Copies of this chain bind each other. A is one copy, B any other.
Amino acid sequence: MTLSAEELAARIGGAVEGDGSTTVSAVAGLEEAREGDLSFCKDPKYAKAVALTKASAILLPDTWSAPFPCRAAIRVASPDEACMAAAALFAPPAPVRAPGIHPTASIGENVSIGRDVHIGAYTVIESGAAIGDGCVVEAQVYIGENCRLGECCHIYPQVTLREGSVLGKRVILHCGVRIGGDGYGYTHEVRPDGSISISKIPQLGIVEICDDVEIGSNTTIDRARLGRTRIGACTKIDNLVQVAHNVQIGSCSGLIAQSGVAGSAHIGNGVLVWAQAGISGHIHVNDRAQIGPQAGVPQDVPSGAYVIGTPAGSLRDVAAIALAPKAISKLRAEIREIKKKLG
């Protein structure tokens, strides 16, 4: 949608300054904005960035006094709120996924499908699966035998759920998510002749994902060897995250992009694992702990602790190592001084 500054102000409120016929069709930050964009700034400390922006129009607080190079400004009480309102206007219209089963969807025997369910083109649902009321299962999804989806789940294209996976209500799985793959488990045996025999350990469990969990693109969550790999309610997982077999994650936790959790680890409630961090197998990361970016955690983490580094320790531990070269230089100088004294 393209709107003039005047039309925009009429919709989101605010007073136009400059050329009210200036048209905009997208929202962008000060630095990346270009011709045709609307930008925004609430704080005079960014006056420099405002002075350099290429946006055609800008949302500014009523109190703004510094110059701005845009052809139009809209004065508003809260640029943040006005910006969100404008972004909602310019956003690509949300696709409509009306209830109905696409004629090309391949539905197995004894599949139970609730009311107001959307199933997209070329989606495959194997026998015995149950899809709750109001679910949206987009195109090209694979749902294995006996999977169960609670109400109002949203499964984006090209997700796979292996057999027996269980999803609660309002679970969102983004494109390419893999639920229920076999965990990595083998036995190694050295034969009498010295050669090695590697056998696959059957992965007999399932994955259970609780209500209001959201999982990002291409993340993988393996089925349990026994019992269940479990993601607790309201936990949010980013893209390209690995959750190994038998991991137990509590509620309201967050796993940021490319982090990984090894087999049978326990992650508590309200835990935050930052990007690219790794959690070893069989350990406990307790409630409200935070694992810093790229940290490697070899052992239990107490409730509320913040750890970083590999192997992960306190910020103080990591800082001590980072400061070691400086400390060494100082000691070296002192020793030189002592030697001089000693002659």
- A-side interface size class: 35 or more
Convert A258-278 into 0s and 1s, putting 1 for each residue whose CB lies closer than 8 angstroms to a CB of B: 101010101000100001101
| Contact A157 B124, CB 8 Å, known A276-B296, A325-B317 | yes
Determine which of B146, B157, B310 lies in contact with A160 in the assembled complex, contact meaning CB atoms within 8 Å.
B157
Per assembly, the copies of the chain total 3
Question: Does A186 lie at the interface of the complex (its beta carbon under 8 Å from any beta carbon of B)?
Answer: yes
User: A148 CB to closest chain B CB, in angstroms?
Assistant: 11
Is A178 within 8 A of B174, CB to CB?
yes
User: A259 CB to closest chain B CB, in angstroms?
Assistant: 9
Once bound together, how far apart are the Cα atoms of A254 and B185, in whole Å? 11
| Contact A226 B28, CB 8 Å, known A106-B121, A257-B260 | yes
| Contact A256 B106, CB 8 Å, known A220-B216, A293-B296, A324-B321 | no
Is A278 within 8 A of B278, CB to CB?
no
Question: Does A205 lie at the interface of the complex (its beta carbon under 8 Å from any beta carbon of B)?
Answer: yes
User: A174 CB to closest chain B CB, in angstroms?
Assistant: 5
Which residues of A does B touch, CB under 8 Å?
Answer: 26-29, 31-33, 37, 83-84, 87-88, 90-95, 102, 104, 106, 120-122, 124, 126, 138-140, 142, 144-146, 156-158, 160, 162-164, 172, 174-176, 178, 181-182, 184, 186, 196, 198, 200, 202, 204-206, 212, 214, 216-218, 220, 222, 225-228, 230, 234, 236, 238-240, 242, 244, 246, 248, 252, 254, 256-258, 260, 262, 264, 266, 270, 275-276, 278, 280, 293-294, 296, 309-311, 317, 320-325, 327-328, 331-332, 334-335, 338-339, 341-342
* Complex A-B, nearest 6 residue pairs according to Cβ-Cβ distance, in ascending order: A92-B164, A320-B325, A28-B227, A91-B204, A178-B217, A181-B217
